[in-house]
Structure 1
Amino acid sequence: MSDSSALPAVLFAMDPHHLPRLFPAPVRARLASCYRMPDGAAPVPEASGGVALADAEVLITGWGCAPLTAEVLDTMPRLRAVLHSAGSVKAHVTSACWERGLLVSSAAVANALPVAEFTLGAMLLAGKDVFRIRARYAAEHRLPETGETASLGNYRRRVGIIGASRTGRRVLELLRPFDFETAVHDPRLSAPDAAALGVRRLPLDELVASSDILSVHAPDLPSTRRLLDARRLALMPDGATLINTARGALVDTDALTAELSSGRLSALLDVTDPEPLPPGSPLYGLPNVTLTPHLAGALGNELERLGAAVADEAECLRAGRPLRHRVVRADLEHSA
Structure 2
Amino acid sequence: MRIPVPATPPAPPRPRALFAMGRRHRDALFPPAAVERLTRHVDLDPQLVVEDFDRIPGPASVELLITSWGCPPLDAAALARMPALKAVVHAAGSVKHHVTEACWERGLRVSTAAAANAVPVAEYTLAAVLFANKRVLEIADRYREHRTALDWSAHFPGFGNHRRTIGVVGASLVGRRVLELLRPFDFDVLVSDPHLDPADALALGARLTGLDELLAQCDVVSLHAPALPETHHLLDARRLALLRDGATLVNTARGSLVDTAALTAEARSGRLHAVLDVTEPEVLPADSPLYALPNVLLTPHIAGSLGNELLRITDSALDEVERYCAGREFAHPVSRAALAVSA
Structure 1 Cα separation of the partners of residues 68 and 20 of structure 2: 6
Q: CA deviation at 1:3?
A: 7.8
2:287 to 280, 290, 295: 280
2:157 to 141, 146, 150: 150
- Asked whether the equivalents of residues 5 and 36 of structure 1 are also in contact (C-alpha less than 8 Å), the reply is no
Structure 2 Cα separation of the partners of residues 94 and 206 of structure 1: 37
1:69 aligns with 2:71: no
Q: Provide the TM-score with structure 1 as the length reference.
A: 0.95
1:95 aligns with 2:101: yes
Q: 2:102 is paired with a residue of what secondary structure?
A: helix
Q: CA deviation at 1:324?
A: 1.0
The one-letter amino acid paired with 1:333 is A
Q: Any idea what the Cα deviations from partners look like across 1:138-195, whole Å, max 9, x if unmatched?
A: 1222323131243111011110000000000000101111111111000001223112
2:87 to 66, 70, 81: 81
- Asked whether the equivalents of residues 50 and 56 of structure 2 are also in contact (C-alpha less than 8 Å), the reply is no
The structure with more radius of gyration? 2
Structure 2 Cα separation of the partners of residues 248 and 69 of structure 1: 27
Q: Any idea what the Cα deviations from partners look like across 1:176-234, whole Å, max 9, x if unmatched?
A: 11111111000001223112212100100000000000101100110001101111111
Structure 2 Cα separation of the partners of residues 324 and 264 of structure 1: 44
The one-letter amino acid paired with 2:325 is R
- Asked whether the equivalents of residues 24 and 304 of structure 1 are also in contact (C-alpha less than 8 Å), the reply is no
Q: Any idea what the Cα deviations from partners look like across 1:43-102, whole Å, max 9, x if unmatched?
A: 124546xxx322211001111111112221122111100111111111111111111111
- 1:14 corresponding residue in structure 2: 21
The one-letter amino acid paired with 1:97 is C
Q: CA deviation at 1:4?
A: 8.7
Runs of 4+ in 1 over 3 A off after TM superposition: 1-5, 45-48
Q: Aligned runs of 1:135-284 on 2, under 5 Å?
A: 135-145=141-151, 146-284=153-291
Q: CA deviation at 1:29?
A: 2.2
- 1:289 corresponding residue in structure 2: 296
- 2:3 corresponding residue in structure 1: none
- 2:5 corresponding residue in structure 1: none
Deviates most, 199-208 or 62-71: 62-71
Unpaired runs of 5+ residues, structure 1, are none
The one-letter amino acid paired with 1:310 is A
2:116 to 84, 94, 110: 110
- 2:125 corresponding residue in structure 1: 119
- Asked whether the equivalents of residues 180 and 205 of structure 2 are also in contact (C-alpha less than 8 Å), the reply is no
Q: Any idea what the Cα deviations from partners look like across 1:286-336, whole Å, max 9, x if unmatched?
A: 111110010100111111211211111111111111111111111122111
Q: CA deviation at 1:34?
A: 1.1
The one-letter amino acid paired with 1:236 is L
Structure 1 Cα separation of the partners of residues 165 and 230 of structure 2: 26
Structure 1 Cα separation of the partners of residues 196 and 150 of structure 2: 42
The one-letter amino acid paired with 2:107 is G
Structure 1 Cα separation of the partners of residues 270 and 321 of structure 2: 50
Structure 1 Cα separation of the partners of residues 199 and 309 of structure 2: 33
Unpaired runs of 5+ residues, structure 2, are 1-7
Specify whether residues 47 and 2 from structure 1 end up closer, same or farther in structure 2 by C-alpha distance, changes over 3 A only: farther
Q: Provide the TM-score with structure 2 as the length reference.
A: 0.93
- Asked whether the equivalents of residues 132 and 289 of structure 1 are also in contact (C-alpha less than 8 Å), the reply is no
Q: 1:304 is paired with a residue of what secondary structure?
A: helix
- 1:43 corresponding residue in structure 2: 51
The one-letter amino acid paired with 1:186 is D
- Asked whether the equivalents of residues 13 and 59 of structure 1 are also in contact (C-alpha less than 8 Å), the reply is yes
The one-letter amino acid paired with 2:135 is D
What is the percentage of aligned positions where both structures have the same residue?
55
Structure 2 Cα separation of the partners of residues 257 and 71 of structure 1: 44
Structure 1 Cα separation of the partners of residues 104 and 199 of structure 2: 31
The one-letter amino acid paired with 2:50 is A
Specify whether residues 254 and 2 from structure 1 end up closer, same or farther in structure 2 by C-alpha distance, changes over 3 A only: farther
